[in-house]
């Protein structure tokens, strides 16, 4: 089945950073977009329909596909899961409450959204699922035990979904940003800086040592790849983890 502009999209984490950039880019590409976060007013002026939802509340997450469908005028055809949190700590110091929260927001909410959105995609014979991973989907990082574990899990979940949907007209891929200029990255820099006794700028400089591009990736650059994966030309791309990382990981 052919799919041009005008598809119905749900983007989580849409109030800032990568999620906001993705929601705006999909709307600019002609899709009707519901943007979800605890608050999404920041994207309203860009044509994104705000459908608030706290990804830490799995009951609210389970209800989100139906609420988005109501706002969009039909079932979700494009699901982009950008929402994510991190709780930096040494592995030996990770609090179980923090571990559970990171897994709930980063992985379990993605599962619940897929369970709510994918059946309608299969029925229609067309759909796109894109999850936002991280360099920590492929590697470890100091103080990132819970976050890295969650992003590894999200990658595995998406790849399995791709295999299960390969003959149904539905693709599932992971976009893997490098160090991206978002508030989450800057907050992580501040946390690492405090733990090591140096400043935020020094933490960012150390983050970027492994990013040959020499600068942070922009949210718009990540959003451009997501938008491509949500269109017809990407119909044969599924089960992939695609880096937008300035050359950090050449795999």
Q: What's the chain's Rg over C-alpha atoms?
A: 17
DSSP letter at 106 equals I
CB-count burial class (<10 Å; 0-12, 13-18, 19+) for 86: buried
147 tagged catalytic: yes
Q: List, edge to edge, every strand of the sheet that includes 8-12.
A: 49-50, 32-36, 8-12, 78-81, 127-132, 170-177, 241-244
Backbone φ and ψ for 132, nearest 5 degrees, come out as: -95, 115
Number of residues that make up the chain: 251
Q: Which residue has the tokens 């089945």?
A: 1
**What token pair was written down for 222?**
């990540």
Strands (DSSP E) contained in the chain are: 8-12, 32-36, 49-50, 78-81, 127-132, 170-177, 241-244
Alpha helices in 51-182 (DSSP H): 58-72, 96-103, 109-124, 145-165
Distance CA 149, CA 194 (A): 23
Catalytic residue among 126, 147, 179, 207: 147
Catalytic residues, by residue number, are: 147
């Amino acid at each position: 089945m052919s799919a041009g502009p005008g598809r119905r999209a749900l983007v989580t984490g849409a109030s800032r950073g990568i999620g906001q950039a993705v929601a705006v880019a999909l709307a600019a590409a002609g899709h009707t977009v519901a943007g979800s976060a605890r608050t999404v007013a920041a994207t309203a002026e860009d044509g994104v329909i705000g459908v608030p939802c706290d990804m830490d509340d799995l009951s609210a997450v389970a209800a989100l596909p139906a609420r988005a469908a109501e706002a969009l005028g039909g079932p979700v055809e494009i699901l982009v899961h950008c929402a994510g949190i991190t709780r930096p700590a040494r592995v030996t110091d990770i609090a179980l409450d923090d571990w559970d929260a990171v897994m709930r927001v980063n992985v379990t909410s993605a599962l619940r959204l897929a369970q709510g959105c994918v059946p309608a995609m299969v029925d229609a014979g067309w759909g796109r699922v894109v999850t936002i991973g991280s360099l920590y989907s492929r590697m470890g990082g100091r103080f990132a035990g819970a976050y890295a574990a969650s992003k590894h899990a999200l990658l595995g979940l998406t790849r399995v979904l791709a295999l299960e949907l390969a003959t149904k007209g539905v693709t599932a891929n992971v976009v893997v940003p490098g160090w991206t200029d978002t508030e989450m990255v800057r907050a992580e820099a501040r946390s690492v800086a405090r733990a090591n006794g140096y400043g935020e700028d020094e933490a960012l400089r150390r983050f970027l040592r492994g990013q040959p591009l020499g600068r942070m990736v922009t949210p718009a650059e990540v959003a451009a790849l997501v938008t491509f994966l949500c269109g017809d030309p990407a119909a044969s791309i599924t089960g992939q983890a695609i880096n937008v990382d300035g050359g950090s990981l050449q795999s």
